[in-house]
Amino acid sequence: MSGAGGPGAGEHGAGQHGAAGGNGVAAGAVPALAARVRERFGVHGRGQHERDRQGGDGHGEGQAGGPPDGASRGGGRRGGRGGGRGGEQLVVPRARPDSYYGKPIIKEPVWGTRDVGGYLFFGGLAGASAVLAGFAQAVGNHKQAKVSKIAAAGAIGLSGGALVADLGRPERFLNMLRVFKPTSPMSVGSWLLSAFGGASAAAAACAVTGRLPKVGAAATAGAALVGPAVCTYTAALICDTAVPAWHDAHREMPYLFAGSAASAAGGLGMLVVPPEDAGQAIRFAVLGAATEMTAKSLLLKRLGDIAEPYQTGRPGTLMEVAEVLTAAGLAGAVLAGGSRTAIKLAGAALLASSALTRLGIFEAGRVSARDPKYTVRPQRERLAAKAAGSVTDPPGS
């Protein structure tokens, strides 16, 4: 009889399993390899699951050294996924990822802050200045009308220049005029800019030269009619995107843009026009500032957690400074009386606050696009409300 480690045992094993292995693999090699694979990937056979249901860990029973490392890792992995099935303890908490490895779910806008921020601000200033010019001309306030006409023409030129700079090539703007698509804010805005630019330029030229007064009056009226749309279409433009801080604020954003534009146009009139002729500009600025502050307050209240980008970081700082300047300008416009210095300071504060508000809104949108929680959280709230049969929309819907 051969010993346990003698040649006889090896020949016997080879003869018995030669057909199955074909290459002299030991009898226990395949089961051992399968066990290691199961341990590595957390896959267990029927016997292991029976031991799991009985409360045992099923790894390394009868071994003096306790469960091997592979079994420990497998148990931890199964515990993290299965929530402690079979009496196992959770090694790590259940993962609740907001996105794949925390990556942004939507693409951050590639618009430049300087170009698009300037486009938003100067466009609003131009539209509101045209409206103020129309009112001033209607009541015979020629100094205010002239200043506002020039402001409208100059601001729309700067707004269009900033847009073309962001597009990269002027022909890209011209290509947008090839068709008119009412459902596209960009298409509608391109035509609005073109029509408004021509009317405001004609009104300003007639006001400066003093020629063709009837043409100038018609151009002023046309620019005043298109002005409100020029003030607010940029709000529809950014809210039509998937950026959470913009899209979810679509109810209040047009009013916020309109109020901010009116306060800027009124502030510019207060800054340039003599105090005795600045009464319309002051009333226009007061109305705009009150509308802006009300719309901003409603926006932050309704959005809830999604309003966080408007209140933290760089956007929050811009919005806070803008709010302080708006309040100061509003108070100065109301309480200045006939003081030339107070009126001009109030006008400068309102003009600056409008610019900072537009920049803050733009930056807040970019911040919300980077963080996946502002995209995932509203979706989960809507799904939860829908599952609960809620009639009212959750915050930010």
pLDDT at 230: 93
Residue 29 lies in a domain: no
3-state DSSP assignment of residue 135: helix
pLDDT over 60 (residue 7): no
Q: What mean pLDDT is predicted for residues 55-71? A: 43
pLDDT at 117: 87
Residue 18 lies in a domain: no
How far is CA 129 from each of CA 133, 194, 196, 205, 232, rounded to the nearest angstrom? 6, 17, 12, 15, 13
Residue 36 lies in a domain: no
pLDDT at 327: 93
pTM attached to this predicted model: 0.69
How far is CA 67 from each of CA 49, 62, 79, 82, 96, rounded to the nearest angstrom? 16, 9, 16, 20, 30
pLDDT digits (tens, 9 = 90+) for 117-153: 889 999 999 999 999 999 999 999 999 999 999 999 9
24-40 b/e (C-beta count within 10 Å ≥ 16 → b): eeeeeeeeeeebeebbe
pLDDT band with cut points at 50, 70 and 90 for residue 99: low
pLDDT at 107: 72
pLDDT band with cut points at 50, 70 and 90 for residue 298: very high
pLDDT over 80 (residue 4): no
Residue 76 lies in a domain: no
Residue 141 lies in a domain: yes
Residue-number span of the structural domain to which 217 is assigned: 113-371
User: Most confidently modeled of 56-65, 129-138, 242-251?
Assistant: 129-138
Read off φ and ψ for residue 99, nearest 5 degrees. Answer: -160, 180
Q: What is the number of domains present in the chain?
A: 1
pLDDT at 10: 40
pLDDT over 70 (residue 17): no
Residue 304 lies in a domain: yes
pLDDT digits (tens, 9 = 90+) for 154-178: 999 999 888 888 777 777 777 777 7
Q: What mean pLDDT is predicted for residues 357-363? A: 94
pLDDT at 270: 93
| % pLDDT > 70, the chain | 69
Greater model confidence, 83 or 335: 335
Read off φ and ψ for residue 386, nearest 5 degrees. Answer: -70, -40
Residue 49 lies in a domain: no
pLDDT band with cut points at 50, 70 and 90 for residue 181: confident
Residue 86 lies in a domain: no
* DSSP letter for each residue of 283-348: HHHHHHHHHHHHHHHHHHHHHGGGGGGGTSHHHHHHHHHHHHHHHHHHHHHHH-TT-HHHHHHHHH
Read off φ and ψ for residue 91, nearest 5 degrees. Answer: -80, -40
Helix/strand number for the chain, H first, E second: 15, 0
pLDDT at 175: 75
Greater model confidence, 65 or 127: 127
> Structure tokens of 110?
């590639």
pLDDT at 115: 84
- Average pLDDT of every residue of the chain: 77
CA end-to-end span of the chain: 85
| CA atoms of 117 and 120, how far apart (whole Å) | 5
> Structure tokens of 140?
């015979």
pLDDT over 70 (residue 253): yes
Q: What's the CATH code of the domain at 270?
A: 1.20.1630.10
pLDDT at 256: 95
pLDDT at 13: 39
pLDDT digits (tens, 9 = 90+) for 104-124: 666 777 777 788 888 999 999
Looking at residue 220, its amino acid is T
